[in-house]
């Protein structure tokens, strides 16, 4: 799983089907980020079993 955060934002995304998934101008991590916020939409998709990574 990869985490992405758009530059200038504090929210991390990990579902490629998130409507806010950064496609350019982003920072990425291969592990769960220790700081910053986790995207609500990504969390909702994960709970629903609908998170594509």
- Give me the residues that bind Zn ion (CB under 5 A), please: 13, 18, 20, 39, 41-42
Minimum distance between the CB of residue 11 and Zn ion, rounded to whole angstroms? 7
Report the residue number, 9 or 34, with the smaller CB distance to Zn ion. Answer: 9
Using an 8 Å Cβ cutoff, are 41 and 18 in contact? yes
Euclidean distance between CA atoms 48 and 26, whole angstroms: 26
Report the residue number, 27 or 41, with the smaller CB distance to Zn ion. Answer: 41
Minimum distance between the CB of residue 21 and Zn ion, rounded to whole angstroms? 6
Query: What contacts 32, CB < 8 A, 6 or more positions away?
Result: 3
């Amino acid at each position: 799983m990869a985490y992405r955060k758009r530059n200038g934002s504090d929210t991390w995304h990990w579902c490629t089907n998130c409507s806010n998934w950064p496609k350019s101008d982003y920072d990425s991590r291969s592990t769960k980020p220790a700081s910053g916020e986790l995207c609500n939409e990504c969390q909702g998709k994960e709970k629903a079993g609908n998170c594509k990574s």
